Amino acid sequence: MFFPEYRARRLRRNETMRKMVRETHLRIDDLIYPMFSAFGSGVRQEISSMPGIYQQSIEHIVTEAKEVRELGIPAVILFGLPETKDPVGQDAYSDTGIIQRTIEVLKREVPELTVITDVCLCEYTDHGHCGVIRNGDVDNDETLRLLAAEALSHARAGADIIAPSDMMDGRVAAIRELLDANGFSHLPIMSYAVKYASAYYGPFREAADSTPQFGDRRSYQMDPANRREALREAALDVQECADFLMVKPALAYLDILRDLRERFDLPLVAYNVSGEYSMIKAAAQQGWIDHDRVMMETLIGMKRAGADLIITYHAKEAAKLLR
Ligand code: PBG
Ligand code: ZN
């Protein structure tokens, strides 16, 4: 095939032709919408670095969840802002914790919506780390017990999928074991298998009020420079019986998404994180980029890299364009 006989532009001549040869598709069914559930009532506070995203109390969560469902989005992932924090993050695994109460109300009011829960301690600890502290660092094995208890309490409250984001070693197995021992062998685990220590989480930490009060997360989250280690992390979670694998963040890690897609056959999730969202919002507010086009191009890039599902703060906006 050579020019001038072969001409690649023939298949780009009009939208019908382009649609016929399109290789990758973004569907509303691919989207998962994150929500921040805050203690109290009458709370609906926009996150300054994330226009359109709110910390909100349960009644407002329900209203927005209904809207999410009406748009055809299949699932939300919940993060909690508890009334009080302490060194061991008790609200995280309390049966009356903020997330447990949110799950119960959501499953009652919007039963068709799939409820995914983020399992971690950083939103509930006063020091902001993802586990309990011993000798100045997060203690892995002691944290595992608390994470498993948190997952079980989410399951009891009615969660549909459990998503551990803490990056402790062995957490998928610890959670699987406790869930199975308590009659929840049917509940899938969506593992944040490959999670990097990223500055792209900055706006989320404002949203979830989870900035570490000392140090950083580099002793448990991955070094952004590492690719082979991502395969190792994913393989461990597959062995521990994870049902979904996740790569987080997404935009600066599209190569990792592609690597996992080629090596593993589990459903693959990309987390289009807070900083990625904020950058598009900020540039669009300046009039420097076309918001909707950059958003859709970013999301299709994640699909093309190999993601099946995308957790994204853009889910509602994207769904409206896809209808
Ligand atoms: C909690 C958690 C974080 C995110 C999801 N779950 C923050 C972190 O690890 O610091 C980040 C999500 C985002 O930036 O949108 N472990
Ligand atoms: Zn955490």
The tens digit of pLDDT for each residue in 176-206 reads 999 999 999 999 999 999 999 999 999 999 8
Cβ contact 297:290 at 8 Å: no
Q: How do residues 116-159 score in pLDDT, each as one tens digit?
A: 999 999 999 999 999 999 999 999 999 999 999 999 999 999 99
Cβ contact 190:242 at 8 Å: yes
HSE on the CB side for 127, CA within 13 Å?
Answer: 15
Q: How far apart are the C-alpha atoms of 162 and 78, rounded to whole Å? A: 10
How much is the pLDDT for 285? 98
Q: What percent of the chain has pLDDT over 90?
A: 98
Pocket of ligand 1 (CB under 6 A): 118, 120, 122, 130, 165, 201, 204-205, 217, 273-274
Q: How do residues 277-322 score in pLDDT, each as one tens digit?
A: 999 999 999 999 999 999 999 999 999 999 999 999 999 999 999 9
Mean pLDDT for the stretch of residues 62-89:
98
Which residues lie below 8 Å from residue 1, measured CB to CB, with a gap of 6+?
none
Q: Catalytic amino acids?
A: 195, 248
CA 205 – ligand 2 centroid, Å: 10
How much is the pLDDT for 137? 93
Q: How far apart are the C-alpha atoms of 178 and 309, rounded to whole Å? A: 27
**163 falls in which pLDDT band (50, 70, 90)?**
very high
- Domains, the chain, with CATH or none: 25-322 (3.20.20.70)
CA 307 – ligand 2 centroid, Å: 23
CA 308 – ligand 1 centroid, Å: 20
Q: Residue 256: pLDDT above 90?
A: yes
How much is the pLDDT for 216? 94
**266 falls in which pLDDT band (50, 70, 90)?**
very high
